[in-house]
A and B are shown apart, each in its own frame.
Chain A
Amino acid sequence: MSGDLLSLDGVSSGYGQSRILWDVDFALPRGKATALIGRNGVGKTTLLSTIMGLRPALTGRILFDGKDITRLSTHQRARAGIAIVPQGRHVFPFLTVEENLLSGLAARRDGKKAIPDFIFDLFPKLAQIRHRKGGLLSGGEQQQLAIGRALAGDPRLLLLDEPTEGIQPNVVAQIEAALRHVRTEMGMTILVVEQYLDFAWRLADLYSAMQGGRIVRQGDTSSETADAVAHLVHI
């Protein structure tokens, strides 16, 4: 088996008549964090949605842990071990914090019925507000909740779409620490879409840059500086 947990092989995707992703070849090495960068509208969210099965792949194949998941539905991919923290967070507005976290357990294969303690260790705030409705939380609290909900499903691959968007620095630091913990202590593979390159470079081992629905550049965050790729993100 290859060292890649996920690989995309010639994947295209889009909305109606308009094609957004063009023959994307892309792989995520096991246990590594990869940052996906690119300007607004290049297709980063579309790529994550296609991996999660929220949008169908029009061409190509998606392999997860060596198995072809191209035709699996979203909930089957979740149960196979892929979790997403979507752009805009999408916490369930009329469920409490606790219920939001419980909903994440649906993806688990071990049948565990309780919210794992480590989620409250990573985000102590969630324990304090556990009975509050998701829709009433601040943006930072919602982001922590969305990450907690994804982790509750015990995923092997965690997809995050702009987790620092509109979040203040101390919460960004907490999110960074949490993601670092799940990668190093739990061996989770991470794909994070991020415009904020400093954050991306602190967290990720690898980067992939998108332009016009294609991956145009890939590399190592330890051998290239964020400045070297900044022109791919900022105009």
Chain B
Amino acid sequence: MDSAALLLPQLFNGLSVASLYLLAAVGLALSFGLMRVINMAHGEMLMLGGYLAWLTLMVVPGGFGIIAALPVAFLGTAAIGALVHMGLIRRLADRPLDTLLATWGLSLILQQAARDLFGPIGVEVRAPDWLSGSFTLAGVVIPSARLLIIVMTILVLGGIAALLDRTRVGLDIRAVNQDRMMASATGINVRAVELIVFCVGSGVAGVAGVLLALLGPVTPNAGQVYIVPAFLVVVMGGLGSLTGTSVAALILGLFTALAQIFVDVSIAQMLMLVLVILFLQVRPQGVVAVRSRALDV
């Protein structure tokens, strides 16, 4: 068989997997970078995003329901993120182990709630006609849904970079990240900034959930599949750096996709873990060494 014919589509596949890893990891990286908080229920934001897409499609049928689902899922999961932050994360500030356990518990509760509400086998979000096909570019067959995933990821990342770089809130976020005490002394409401960051991270995971729904059914444990690679991406990226997170997502996404040419999915996932461990042996600080909570762009 022609190896290029096998490699190129799989490379493209890898890019879309990397995109999903990245969207799932961004929220984890942001909240770890800013608050040193690990939210074990972050995967459930993806799952909720998927169900919100399904609900949106019931209200807005037709070709562009899926586009409408993106802001709905963003806002819906951001709102739930706000509740999680105010009800749990903020109350457990400076108690990392308790935060870990409480958010893990929340993750189980959310999965069970989804099971009770929508059934154990999950629901199907049917991609509209304009997304279910594929087209050929330079001899490579490109599925439209996967192209949408990549485009959306670029847009979301550009949006976050612009938020951090060009807005007042972004300036506040960077100031809090660099020197929390001094930021509060200049009049910045640190808790409000943390809340905003947590909401944005949750919202982005919700968007990832919509895109994920284009590739497979939305199940109560849909988030679990992507959250483990997302954690690996954050660790490999350097714990909180967006550049590092993006590079790590790219490496791991391409790696799993290419590994799947030769081995099955579960072996590929295991190899990914081995890769991350080896990488951290060589470069323990991650792709980008984060300088004292420096959440760079």
Are chains A and B native binding partners rather than an unrelated pairing? yes
State the A residues within 8 Å of B (CB).
Answer: 52-54, 73-75, 78-79, 83-84, 86, 90, 92-95, 99, 102-104, 106-108, 149-150, 153
Verify B174–A92 contact, CB threshold 8 A. yes
Q: How large is the interface on B (under 10, 10 to 19, 20 to 34, 35 or more residues)?
A: 20 to 34
A149 touching B178 in the complex, CB below 8 Å, given contacts A94-B296, A95-B171, A102-B171: no
Separation in Å of the B34 CB from the closest CB of chain A? Answer: 14
In the complex, which residues of chain A have a beta carbon less than 8 angstroms from the beta carbon of B181? 54, 74, 90
Verify B174–A94 contact, CB threshold 8 A. yes
In the complex, which residues of chain A have a beta carbon less than 8 angstroms from the beta carbon of B174? 92, 94-95, 99
State the B residues within 8 Å of A (CB).
Answer: 168, 171-172, 174-175, 178-179, 181-190, 291, 294, 296
Separation in Å of the B289 CB from the closest CB of chain A? Answer: 13
Verify B186–A103 contact, CB threshold 8 A. yes
C-alpha spacing A171/B63, complex, angstroms: 66
Separation in Å of the B61 CB from the closest CB of chain A? Answer: 45
C-alpha spacing A74/B187, complex, angstroms: 7
C-alpha spacing A176/B129, complex, angstroms: 72
In the complex, which residues of chain A have a beta carbon less than 8 angstroms from the beta carbon of B296? 94
Verify B183–A54 contact, CB threshold 8 A. no
Q: Among A73, A94, A103, which residue has its beta carbon within 8 angstroms of that of B183?
A: A103
Number of A-B residue pairs having CB atoms within 8 Å of each other in the complex: 69
Separation in Å of the A15 CB from the closest CB of chain B? Answer: 14
C-alpha spacing A54/B171, complex, angstroms: 21
C-alpha spacing A95/B181, complex, angstroms: 16
Verify A95–B184 contact, CB threshold 8 A. no
In the complex, which residues of chain B have a beta carbon less than 8 angstroms from the beta carbon of A103? 171-172, 175, 183, 186, 188
Chain A CB within 10 Å, residue with most, of B182, B188, B291: B182
Verify B184–A78 contact, CB threshold 8 A. yes
Separation in Å of the A105 CB from the closest CB of chain B? Answer: 8
Q: Among B171, B186, B291, which residue has its beta carbon within 8 angstroms of that of A78?
A: B186
In the complex, which residues of chain A have a beta carbon less than 8 angstroms from the beta carbon of B171? 95, 99, 102-103
In the complex, which residues of chain B have a beta carbon less than 8 angstroms from the beta carbon of A86? 182, 185
C-alpha spacing A90/B183, complex, angstroms: 10
Verify A153–B179 contact, CB threshold 8 A. no
Q: Which residue of A lies closest to B295 (CB)?
A: A94
C-alpha spacing A39/B188, complex, angstroms: 32
Verify A92–B182 contact, CB threshold 8 A. yes
Verify A79–B184 contact, CB threshold 8 A. no
| 25 A–B contacts from the bound complex (CB under 8 Å) | A53-B184, A54-B181, A73-B184, A75-B185, A78-B186, A78-B187, A84-B185, A90-B182, A92-B174, A92-B178, A92-B182, A93-B178, A99-B171, A102-B171, A103-B171, A103-B175, A103-B183, A106-B172, A107-B186, A107-B187, A108-B187, A149-B186, A150-B186, A153-B186, A153-B187
Verify A104–B184 contact, CB threshold 8 A. no
C-alpha spacing A47/B190, complex, angstroms: 22
